[in-house]
Every structure is written in structure tokens, then in C-alpha cells.
Amino acid sequence: MSPIQKSFSERGTTRGQHSSMHQRGGYQRNVGPNGQRATARQQQQRKKRSCRFCDTKDVYIDYKNEKRLQRFISEQGKIIPRRITGTCARHQRQLVIAIKRARHLGLLAFVNDAVS
């Protein structure tokens, strides 16, 4: 087998893998990295989350309310993605702006040191 042929065949295999991944749906919901289903408990928890701001019918997220914003940043100071907090897209957009304003004013940290 010539090297060119070999590389062709290799490419073929990788392509095949890719297409099989697409068939599986790539990032399918409720399926773990090894294809296992989420447990019933996990599914229940996932259903439970809802946007905190929608629940209280907030139309504006204030940067001055640092205590409230603190719930939406990690210990390191990162903004927590909405797939974890359950915030809706509209409110997450507002939240991100509020957090950044608060950071500018020194109300929230940009970075917190890792807990020793």
C-alpha cells in the first residue's frame, strides 16, 4: 500500500466516525459522555430549574444589587452559564451586563483566588 493510499484510507475511517457521531446526534440531551441515560433524579432536578428573574417578574437587573449578582458568579468569579443556573436567555443577557458593571465599580471581583 502506498503512503497516499494509506492516508486516504485513514481519512475515510475518520470520516466514518464523524458521520456516526452525527447519527447519534452529537450532544444529545440526557445522554452522558458514555451514552448512559441520566438517572431519574437528575432528570427531575433538571425540570425544576427556572429563571429566577422570570419567577419574580423582574424587568431590570440592577448592578447595584451585588448580593443578588453574587449568586450568578462562581467562586472564582466567573459568570455561571445559564445552562447551569437556568436563567432564561433574555435575563442572562441583562445579568451579564449587570455583573460587568458591578465589576467595573469594584462591587464584584473579576478573579477570586482559588480556595486553598
Partner 1 sequence: MAQKQQIYETTFIVNASLDDAQIDAVIEKVKEVITKHNGEIMELVKWGRKRFAFPIKKKNNGFYVVCEFKSPGDLVARLERHFILEENIIRFLIIALDKKSLQARISGNDLLKQVTSTTSSTSGSPLITSQSDDLDPIAPLSQNEF
Closest by CA to 79, choosing from 64, 61, 55, 98, is 98
91, 92, 99, 103: which one contacts partner 1 (CB under 8 A)? 103
101 makes contact with partner 1 (CB under 8 A):
yes
Interaction with partner 1 in 38-97: which residues (CB under 8 A)? 52, 56, 58-60, 62-65, 67-68, 71
Torsion angles phi and psi, residue 31, rounded to 5 = -120, 125
Contact region with partner 1 (CB under 8 A), list: 3-11, 17-25, 39-47, 106-114: 106-114
Q: Interface residues with partner 1 (CB under 8 A)?
A: 52, 56, 58-60, 62-65, 67-68, 71, 101, 103-111
